[in-house]
Chain A
Amino acid sequence: MNTHTTESTNATDTTGRRPALVRAAKDAPVSRTARRGLARRRLGPGLPIPYGRAIGPVLLLAIWSAGSATGLIDPRNLSAPWTVVTTAGDLIADGRLQSNVWTSAVRALSGLAYGVAAGLVLALIAGLSRLGEGLIDGPVQIKRSIPSLALIPLLILWFGIGESMKVITIALGALVPIYIHTHNALRTIDSRYVELAETLGLSRPRFLLHIVLPGALPGFLLGMRFAVTASWLALAVVEQVNATSGIGYMMGLARTYGQTDIIIVGLVVYGLLGLLSDGLVRLVERKALSWRRTLAD
């Protein structure tokens, strides 16, 4: 061993006491920006357009409005945008919209909650033990290849046409993506981290708590986004089946009377609920996975 130690205090580069270097680093980019403007990515898609994402929807709305105003679109096929807005106002005023949205939201959320809980438990059992994987993975993969909605006839026979059938159908739809993504994340924990845990002498509970579960969280949250979408989809279908309340029921009734405006209000509500819940999951994702924010941004 030799003695480099005399120079050792120079080794730390975090003290930041290198004024000459710091100044040089600050000055250079400033003078360059002044001359050439910010460097543009030559192979990128181009400069960002303010509110760029709104262009498509606004254009569609414009065409719809123009079509309705000029009479090119028959209101029996598609009501005018302003009719839809007025109808929505009326539905809110007499309370029908709120009560139906509430029923549907409760249905979807309880189905989602049961599905997520079941999917998570199954994924943990299958992901953390070989026996559990042998027991659970096969049946879930089989279930995965059968669309949940194809199970509706059987579920009606078993549970009737009431609320429980609807909630169970939604739960089955939400379970699959949660299971698939969480299980996959648990199974593909980087073996380098397993090695690390071994060299640090971590106990099995600590290994699970500090490495496996946090490592699987991104997978679970990805599954969550699919599960949310799946539960709205299942909701829309089960509400066509003999519902007496909910958005789907409201739309079904409107179909009977040819009220396209109410149908469109229902579609818009489905869309908004979907967007809102996806936004919520993304928000949770951003909070929970803040450790990788610098990569994502």
Chain B
Amino acid sequence: MAAHTGGLTATVPETGTAAVRISGLVRAFGERRVLDGLDLSLRAGEFVAMLGRSGSGKSTLLRALAGLDHDAGGEGELSAPDHVSVVFQDARLLPWKRVLANVTLGLSGADAQERARTALAEVGLAGREDAWPVELSGGEQQRVSLARSLVREPQLLLADEPFGALDALTRARMHTLLARLYERHRPAVLLVTHDVDEAIALADRVVVLDGGHIAADLPVDLAAPRRPGTPEYAVLRERLLVRLGVEVPSG
């Protein structure tokens, strides 16, 4: 485990299975406290989805976990694994590198190429190794980005609205793919999304970020497959929507 620096106190995690442990985290831009005493833990291999209104600080939290928040002031305790991978909303592929080179970027070792090919095959892109990123569709680019994240065998996968820019059909496919990759690799996942159904479909636990801290923390104990339409699903969905401040028509 490594604790990120920058006004933060390093915590040595107890021997346990916590992948992420955040307590009393504060992040402020100028006078504005975006995160204000936030506590959150993720067990190793746990899939947590985070909902929250736009501007509620979801990305700020993810950037803190990824060690990318050099420009934010703050305090609190935060520990994350050594191997963290990030999937951004934009696939963020280097346009001047072919697909395979994008996946091997930063990998070392003689088998880097082979591992990257395997990862690409896993996301269904075998045979596209030599394509340029501009030649891929949005969904395919995001799959390359997933392959780039997973080839590093992360203990923690951070995803910031990774499917937000995709059309509904592609998004549904990506959900299936992500679920399968998660089953195979079992990293802890913190998935930021604005889609309540996406959160319920994929996560073990859904948390709602509001007012700078975790305002709701609900387990998803629905029998598989989780189909919208069952009464349990509707209840959970409504509770989350209420937490997000959405008026739910009764009846």
Contact surface of A with B, Cβ cutoff 8 Å: 1-5, 7-8, 10-15, 192-193, 195-202, 206, 210-211, 214-215, 217, 289-292, 294-295
Task: Please state if A211 and B94 are interface contacts (CB–CB under 8 Å).
Answer: yes
Residue B228 CB within 8 A of the other chain: no
Shortest beta-carbon contacts, A-B, top 3: A12-B124, A200-B106, A2-B224
- Given contact pairs A198-B68, A199-B66, A199-B84, A2 touches B202 in the complex (Cβ within 8 A): yes
- Give A148 to B63 CA distance when docked, in angstroms: 48
User: Which of A2, A5, A13, A292 has a CB less than 8 Å from the CB of B173?
Assistant: A13
Interchain nearest-CB distance for A219 vs B (Å):
13
- Residues of B contacting A210 in the complex (Cβ-Cβ under 8 angstroms): 94, 97, 105
Which residue in chain B gives the minimum CB-CB distance to A197?
B106
- Give A116 to B251 CA distance when docked, in angstroms: 73
- Residues of A contacting B139 in the complex (Cβ-Cβ under 8 angstroms): 13
Interface string of B95-114 (1 = CB under 8 A from A): 11110000001100000000
Task: Please state if B132 and A294 are interface contacts (CB–CB under 8 Å).
Answer: yes
**Interface SS, A side:** helix
- Given contact pairs A8-B180, A199-B86, A210-B105, A291 touches B95 in the complex (Cβ within 8 A): yes
Interchain nearest-CB distance for A83 vs B (Å):
51
Task: Please state if A202 and B128 are interface contacts (CB–CB under 8 Å).
Answer: no
Residue B34 CB within 8 A of the other chain: no
Interchain nearest-CB distance for B152 vs A (Å):
8
Residue B179 CB within 8 A of the other chain: yes
User: Which of A2, A199, A294 has a CB less than 8 Å from the CB of B179?
Assistant: A2
Q: What are 11 residue pairs bridging A and B, where the CB atoms are less than 8 Å apart in the complex? A: A4-B176, A4-B180, A5-B176, A11-B177, A11-B180, A14-B140, A195-B88, A199-B85, A210-B94, A214-B96, A292-B95
Which residue in chain A gives the minimum CB-CB distance to B63?
A195
- Give A197 to B98 CA distance when docked, in angstroms: 17
- Give A147 to B119 CA distance when docked, in angstroms: 55
Residue in A2, A196, A210 with the greatest tally of chain B CB atoms within 10 Å:
A2
User: Which of A4, A11, A211 has a CB less than 8 Å from the CB of B201?
Assistant: A4
- Residues of A contacting B105 in the complex (Cβ-Cβ under 8 angstroms): 200, 202, 210
Interface string of B145-183 (1 = CB under 8 A from A): 000100010000000000000000000011111011011
- Give A20 to B224 CA distance when docked, in angstroms: 31
Task: Please state if A1 and B204 are interface contacts (CB–CB under 8 Å).
Answer: yes
Sample of 13 further A-B pairs with CB below 8 A, known A1-B202, A192-B90? A2-B179, A2-B225, A4-B201, A5-B183, A11-B177, A15-B124, A193-B92, A195-B88, A195-B92, A198-B67, A200-B105, A292-B96, A295-B134
Task: Please state if A14 and B201 are interface contacts (CB–CB under 8 Å).
Answer: no
Task: Please state if A199 and B96 are interface contacts (CB–CB under 8 Å).
Answer: no
User: Which of A10, A15, A195, A202 has a CB less than 8 Å from the CB of B68?
Assistant: A195
Interface string of B122-140 (1 = CB under 8 A from A): 0011111000111100011
- Residues of A contacting B97 in the complex (Cβ-Cβ under 8 angstroms): 210, 214, 291
- Give A23 to B134 CA distance when docked, in angstroms: 25
Task: Please state if B124 and A1 are interface contacts (CB–CB under 8 Å).
Answer: no
- Give A211 to B106 CA distance when docked, in angstroms: 11
Task: Please state if A8 and B177 are interface contacts (CB–CB under 8 Å).
Answer: yes
Give residues of chain B (213-237) contacting chain A, Cβ–Cβ below 8 Å. 222, 224-226
Which residue in chain A gives the minimum CB-CB distance to B121?
A12
- Residues of B contacting A295 in the complex (Cβ-Cβ under 8 angstroms): 134
- Give A290 to B97 CA distance when docked, in angstroms: 10
- Give A214 to B90 CA distance when docked, in angstroms: 20
- Give A215 to B148 CA distance when docked, in angstroms: 20
- Residues of A contacting B88 in the complex (Cβ-Cβ under 8 angstroms): 192, 195-196
Task: Please state if B84 and A4 are interface contacts (CB–CB under 8 Å).
Answer: no
User: Which of B134, B174, B201 has a CB less than 8 Å from the CB of A291?
Assistant: B134
Task: Please state if B183 and A7 are interface contacts (CB–CB under 8 Å).
Answer: no
Residue B203 CB within 8 A of the other chain: yes
- Given contact pairs A198-B68, A294-B135, A4 touches B94 in the complex (Cβ within 8 A): no
Task: Please state if A2 and B183 are interface contacts (CB–CB under 8 Å).
Answer: no
- Give A104 to B155 CA distance when docked, in angstroms: 64
Interchain nearest-CB distance for B204 vs A (Å):
6
Task: Please state if B125 and A14 are interface contacts (CB–CB under 8 Å).
Answer: yes
- Residues of B contacting A10 in the complex (Cβ-Cβ under 8 angstroms): 173, 176
- Residues of B contacting A12 in the complex (Cβ-Cβ under 8 angstroms): 124
- Give A4 to B200 CA distance when docked, in angstroms: 12
- Residues of B contacting A8 in the complex (Cβ-Cβ under 8 angstroms): 176-177, 179-180
User: Which of A7, A13, A193 has a CB less than 8 Å from the CB of B94?
Assistant: A193
- Residues of A contacting B182 in the complex (Cβ-Cβ under 8 angstroms): 1
Task: Please state if A5 and B94 are interface contacts (CB–CB under 8 Å).
Answer: no
Interchain nearest-CB distance for A183 vs B (Å):
19
- Given contact pairs A8-B176, A8-B180, A294-B135, A14 touches B94 in the complex (Cβ within 8 A): no
Give residues of chain B (175-197) contacting chain A, Cβ–Cβ below 8 Å. 175-177, 179-180, 182-183
- Give A211 to B177 CA distance when docked, in angstroms: 29
- Residues of A contacting B224 in the complex (Cβ-Cβ under 8 angstroms): 2-3
- Residues of A contacting B133 in the complex (Cβ-Cβ under 8 angstroms): 291
